[in-house]
Structure 1
Amino acid sequence: MTPLHPLRLAIADDHAIVRMGYRRLLEDEPGLRVVAEYSDADSAWADLSRRPDGDIDLLILDLSMPGRSGLELLLQLRTERPALKVLISTMHDTEALRAQCLRAGAVGLVGKSSDPDCLLDAVRRVARSHLPGETAVPVSQRRADLPGHHTLTLREHDALMGLLRGWTLDQIAAEMGVSDKTVSNYQTLIRQKLGVNTAVELMRYGQAHGLIP
């Protein structure tokens, strides 16, 4: 069903080619219109905070951008712009990250490696309903008793994925743009939250929970 007015979309992603691809994909659909693009969380907030409620219906938000993370922006929007719906777009589509984003207020999560129809389907679901709490990804995917990796912060999750890829602390630090000491601290916190003591136990945990890339 096409909304009474075009669904007004915004895209926040630090890759211009991704934004261009999303815009072309979305605007080929009747009833969808991209009205704003942002290359980082700060520029997104600077614009969104000035707009009146209802000026944008849905923000498609990348989690990994320079500066503040997409998750930080999501949490800020949940508090200060609760009427704005946010659909997460990410390279790391895991159950743990999906649950974390839903808890933080996103209406859903779409992996960047997914078929383009997955993004369109998620956006259509938002277009069909403007009810508070409507989700593009079923809430039933969240569990009452969450395993340890569901309690990780976004940065800890990024470090975990590096460890499960077999990267060294130096490699993870370079990828995340932080110091080796920071990554070492992440590793300690990750092991505590997951209840593992060694690298071997961490890999077994990753395999058991489907986290191995």
Structure 2
Amino acid sequence: MKSKITVMLVDDHAVVRAGHRMLLSQYENISVVAETARGEEAYQRYIEIHPGIVVMDINLPGMGGLASIRRIHGRDPYARILAFSVHDEPLYVTRALEAGAKGYVTKSSAPEILVEAIIRLAQGDTFVDPEIAQRMVVQTVTGTDPSSLLATLSAREFDIFRLLVNGRTTREIAEELCLGYKTVANYATQIKSKLNVRTTAEMTCLAYQYGVLNG
């Protein structure tokens, strides 16, 4: 008898976790062994129970999903993390995979896609929602990626960029990411310089253009 695929769900919306738990309970070879609403707790729970698959929402309060993926991956390079997000822009897929995720699906994906992704990751494969993967291939071949400017940001800069354009103040970001106020302010200056904008409002317009708001 094959061992079950153990799964930890990480999402700050209880109703989403409940929906996933109900969906996955229909599969005898998959078992949800833990769930949490925050990245910080996800890291601790991962160390404690070492689930086979982590389904990680990118849009988490506090540490944030991308930072949580990086932290778990830093602890265990073999961790099988499936990024789960409302965003279907290829840039988010790239960032998640760079952080250490092995797969990426969106919240608009069919339930069967989520299940297939979990099984594929458990088998040691990588998996990206087919529709997004197709767009990524087209952009790579044609060189038409509209978000190439944002790709110049480092992982930390991208985290801070997302928080800034979604209305967080420098002080709030410093508290969320456990960084010094001056450190965040310096990052903000670097981000504006790289993106060739002068104000946060201009940066927000850029984020809207590239579809990375509410992340």
Contact between 2:103 and 2:121, CA under 8 Å: does it hold in 1? no
**Counterparts of residues 153-168 of structure 1 (less than 5 Å):** 153-160=158-165, 162=166
| 32-41 vs 111-120, which moves further | 111-120
Percent of counterpart pairs with the same letter?
A: 28
**CA–CA distance in structure 2, aligned partners of residues 56 and 178 of structure 1:** 30
Structure-2-length-normalised TM-score: 0.70
**CA–CA distance in structure 2, aligned partners of residues 193 and 23 of structure 1:** 42
Q: Relative to 1, partners in 2 of residues 1:84 and 1:205: Cα closer, same or farther, differing over 3 Å?
A: closer
For the aligned residue pairs, the C-alpha RMSD in angstroms reads 3.6
**Counterparts of residues 170-185 of structure 1 (less than 5 Å):** 172-173=167-168, 178=173
Q: Relative to 1, partners in 2 of residues 1:173 and 1:109: Cα closer, same or farther, differing over 3 Å?
A: same
**CA–CA distance in structure 2, aligned partners of residues 157 and 87 of structure 1:** 20
1:135 to 114, 126, 140: 126
Shift of residue 186, structure 1, vs aligned partner:
7.0
Between structures 1 and 2, the one with greater helix share: 2
Contact between 1:12 and 1:38, CA under 8 Å: does it hold in 2? yes
Shift of residue 13, structure 1, vs aligned partner:
1.2
Shift of residue 21, structure 1, vs aligned partner:
0.6
**Counterparts of residues 44-123 of structure 1 (less than 5 Å):** 44-51=42-49, 55-123=50-118
Q: Relative to 1, partners in 2 of residues 1:205 and 1:140: Cα closer, same or farther, differing over 3 Å?
A: closer
SS in 1 for 2:83: strand
Shift of residue 101, structure 1, vs aligned partner:
0.8
**Counterparts of residues 147-158 of structure 1 (less than 5 Å):** 147-150=148-151, 151=153, 152-158=157-163
Q: Relative to 1, partners in 2 of residues 1:205 and 1:158: Cα closer, same or farther, differing over 3 Å?
A: closer
2:18 to 8, 20, 24: 20
Shift of residue 69, structure 1, vs aligned partner:
1.4
Contact between 1:91 and 1:111, CA under 8 Å: does it hold in 2? yes
**CA–CA distance in structure 1, aligned partners of residues 213 and 67 of structure 2:** 25
Structure-1-length-normalised TM-score: 0.71
Amino acid paired to 2:159: L
Shift of residue 158, structure 1, vs aligned partner:
4.3
Question: Structure 2 unaligned runs (5+)?
Answer: 175-180
SS in 2 for 1:118: helix
Contact between 2:83 and 2:96, CA under 8 Å: does it hold in 1? yes
Give the corresponding residue for 2:178: none
| 18-27 vs 136-145, which moves further | 136-145
Shift of residue 5, structure 1, vs aligned partner:
1.3
Q: Deviations over 1:149-202 (max 9, x none)?
A: 122512313444x4xxxxxxxxx137x9559x9998776544432345686797
Contact between 1:93 and 1:109, CA under 8 Å: does it hold in 2? no
Q: Relative to 1, partners in 2 of residues 1:212 and 1:104: Cα closer, same or farther, differing over 3 Å?
A: closer
SS in 2 for 1:153: helix
